[in-house]
Amino acid sequence: MTKSIGPSYDRCFLHLPNIARMHMNGKHTARLPFDPSARLPAAILIAAAAAGWLASSAAVWIAAVVLLAILAFFCRDPERKAIARPGAILSPADGRIIEVLESASPSLGPTKGPCISIFLSIFDVHVNRAPCAGVVDAVLYRPGGHHDARRPDSTTNESNWILLRCGGDRMTVRQIAGRFARRVICRAPKGSVVDRGARLGFIRLGSRVELYLPAGSTVVVRPGQHVRGGLSIVAYLPERGMPS
């Protein structure tokens, strides 16, 4: 049985204990922008709150508030309405295009099609989104290093391969951890039905996302260009091509 993940997809990155859950929009859940496995951010929040509570110094209070604001900014998850255009492939992430390959042969997913690499700085939204409407065929985790996500050797970093089937086409979104991003998180398990622009997962701090496309796809972005997940069109499927 497939699991539908559409606009109402629960984007919770930290579920509160059952005793503390609240009804929100008809759903028995409360949502905060952190993953259950995010022990470091949680520890920082607790330490900052404790320091501010115990200290009488105004400087400590200010530092704690600033730290909380920075974490809230980094973990922001804005609502977005995905662009609906026939054959259009949307960016899976916010960030800067650092590489476009005309033909790639990854170990997983489609081969001999274009590959678009996106670098996410600490100032970008780190929620990853579906480039098309379809079904998640597989989510494959691969352990690895934590090199700078802008370097070529970052392809050996810890990563998730999210294999998508969009109608008769197949493409892959690869979440790659960076030097400081020590965890890649996928929220769409195998069999999930995803809408165009739906939330797939999250990567912490500076990181990289690669999009592997079917052969014959037309790429419409170039290195250096900034894109937004679920909003920017990065390519068109081969049977559609660019609109006239």
Catalytic residues: 207
The helix/strand/coil state of 131 is coil
Among 227, 204, 98, 93, CA closest to 158: 204
Which amino acid would we find at residue 238?
P
Residues 6+ apart with CB under 8 A from 33: 13, 14, 72, 75, 76, 77
Inter-residue contact 176 to 157 (CB < 8 Å): yes
Among 47, 46, 49, 44, CA closest to 65: 49
**Cα separation, 229 vs 126, whole angstroms:** 9
The residue behind tokens 């998730």 is 160
CA 172 to chain centre: 13
Residue 236, strand partner residues: 88, 218
The residue behind tokens 């590489």 is 99
